[in-house]
Structure 1
């Protein structure tokens, strides 16, 4: 059984994808250091969150998903060093679900790791993810519902409320086994976050290359508003896989994000309310005596708060201008794929012609061989007749 398990449970939009890519990208190196990243593939850990959170499992992968957590636990049980489990959706688990997950890892010493970020930056980032998955809420509505705890699912206050998440997950653990890793201020080298996380988990940061996929996934001001306007027209994308592939994966990440639009923010009253929540969270972390890796001041937005435009203030003229550019981009996307498709079709037709010619040559060769065999048989008969 693993001696220690560092169980990284969230929160969403706190550099979790960056850290997970660094872990999986350096998996072989980490094994030589006695550190296990359990799972056959990266997505296995997401599947494990589905089991731990007791979410419905449907479709052709239902059985595979159903065994995901058990497979990870088995790997941990068969390992003798340190194990690191990481996915931000674990943060949604109830206290009872968290208790069962930790108990499944016994007798290993379980450490809960929570990466935390300034709420004033985090909440707009979380709203963007919800928006990409067809949330109908404006940014202000999202903040209002988040503060009132009316949101559900992984993109809700439930998953990034530092105080509540740690109360659920750390209820039966000593404070020294609960770690809050703070996300550095904007402009800081991302490797600082990796260095903090790695050292906590007993990993030599310099032995790994954390520069995996660092692509920016943030929507700009006008782009976010444009996506809001487009949503009602995407009724054909009814299922989660469809929305993930086409709205999030294609339209948001391939068309809108590369435009590198203007950064946006919250209304002052919203930012101040979140700043107050952050101050309360920091006080609770201190009172509970949790281990802090980084600086708790990084969890509190600077005062005065920065003035940033709000998506609701985007004008019709700005929307129209962006829509025209996006339509041109979409035409270029379609043109590229049509040309690639036509190129593949031409190659396919060429291969088909070559196959046809090859078959015709084979047919002629078979006929020639058959004729030669008949002639050879005639020669053998004549020779036999002459000898007789």
Structure 2
């Protein structure tokens, strides 16, 4: 089988936004090396992935109808090696994954999965859920994870972050050499390390995509997370439409405003939760070694890094009120400026006078 497709199925919060944007920015250059990233009329492959995983996703499900079939057809027509990528694919059920792989059976499919250490992923996924209108506290979110079985739980977190489960579903029936695990480097790694690892997984020279991406999916701090959690509760009662929430809260307030605040206190695991995270990670490492899948990077990157002795932990559910107030003022300023931008300009005085004069002549 001469055709080859690399299917990158996530996980969320592992640099996927950066990878996907860099692939899109360099699509023309990659074609010259017989690599295709066939996004089609959309900026990314989100709708196609949503068509696979069959989730409501804030009312966007109807827009996804037929998008996966269209992506498969573009893949079929593309020349050379094809790279497909979206992180929500990690959440596919066994049946959904099996159907998607069957749709790509005209090619030699390789599954790529990127993974990051569990301690950072718990904090990141909690914040991501806040950006999707959830209002669960960090303590409750963590307790629910600790009380559930990663291999059997239907919670979205384990569906997309549970390394063995994701690779079992997407790699079912594939030889281990066609399953590629990319570990996300720990903080302090040289710039571009993740990109180079991803390129190794898909057999691509990193220099074939010279345009760098500035897109990120940034995190927010303790106070900022509390603000969004409380705002979500208010907006749910107010009945805010999903499309308005995406534009005003997720994009404007979170991504464009709060994520850029200086000196934020990061959301991290409480010290007593690291034993739990390490135990799960050890099980994952054992599974990877026994499975024989291709590992790009270092499995040690998946081990949670404990805070230095004496480091103060900031409770994400109990920030200082003045910090929350400061974040709220920044959010309010951004919303006020956006409201002013969207408002129709006032009618100039001369125009009003001229219209009044015409009325008096009638």
TM-score with structure 2 setting the length: 0.85
> Aligned in 2, Cα 1:254/1:58: closer, same or farther, shift over 3 Å?
closer
Aligned to 2:131: 132
* Corresponding residue for residue 176 of structure 2: 175
Q: For 1:156, what is the secondary structure of its paired residue?
A: helix
Shift of 1:285: 0.6
Query: Is 2:124 the counterpart of 1:122?
Result: no
- Kindly provide the CA deviation profile for residues 300-359 of structure 1, in whole angstroms up to 9, marking residues without a partner as x: 112566744221231334334444555455555555666xx538x66xx79x99xxxxxx
More helix by share: 1
Alpha-carbon spacing, 1:92–1:210, altered in 2? closer, same or farther (3 Å): farther
Moved more, 160-169 or 326-335: 326-335
**TM alignment of 1:333-372, pairs within 5 A:** 334=339, 341-342=344-345
Q: Which moved more, 1:279-288 or 1:141-150?
A: 141-150
Using the TM superposition, give the Cα deviation of residue 203 of structure 1 relative to its aligned residue in structure 2, in angstroms.
1.9
1:51 alignment counterpart: 51
**Where does residue 35 of structure 1 map in the other structure?**
35
- Does residue 69 (structure 1) correspond to residue 72 (structure 2)? The answer is no
Q: Does 1:278 align with 2:277?
A: no
CA 21–159 in structure 1, closer or farther in 2 if over 3 Å, else same: same
Matching of residues 162-311 of structure 1 within 5 Å: 162-215=163-216, 217-235=218-236, 236-260=238-262, 261-303=264-306, 307=311, 308-311=313-316
2:113 partner SS: strand
Structure having greater relative contact order (Cα 8 Å, sep ≥ 6) = 2
Aligned pair count reads 348
SS in 1 for 2:232: helix
> For the structure 1 residues 227 and 284, does the alpha-carbon distance in structure 2 shift closer, same or farther, using more than 3 Å as the test?
same
Q: List alignment gaps of at least 5 residues for structure 2.
A: 356-362
Q: CA deviation at 1:215?
A: 4.3
Following superposition, the deviation at residue 30 of structure 1 comes to: 0.8
Whole-angstrom CA distance in 2 between matches of 1:50 and 1:322:
32
Residue of structure 1 equivalent to 2:11 = 11
Cα deviation for residue 222 of structure 1 reads 1.2
Aligned equivalents of 2:154 and 2:247: distance in 1? 22
Q: Which has the larger radius of gyration?
A: 1
Contact 1:180 1:291 in 2 (8 A): yes
User: In structure 1, the residue corresponding to 2:257 is in which secondary structure?
Assistant: helix
Change (3 A) 1:312 1:287: same
1:319 is the counterpart of 2:319: no
RMSD of equivalent CA atoms = 3.1
Residues 224-275 of structure 1 show CA distances to partners (whole Å, capped at 9, x for unaligned) of: 1122222222133544323222221122123322213222211122233122
1:102-130 deviation line (CA, Å, top 9, x unaligned): 11111311100001001101111111110
Question: 1:171 offset after TM fit, Å?
Answer: 1.7
Does structure 2 retain, via aligned residues, the 8 Å contact 1:39–1:71?
no
State the TM-score, normalizing by the size of structure 1.
0.80
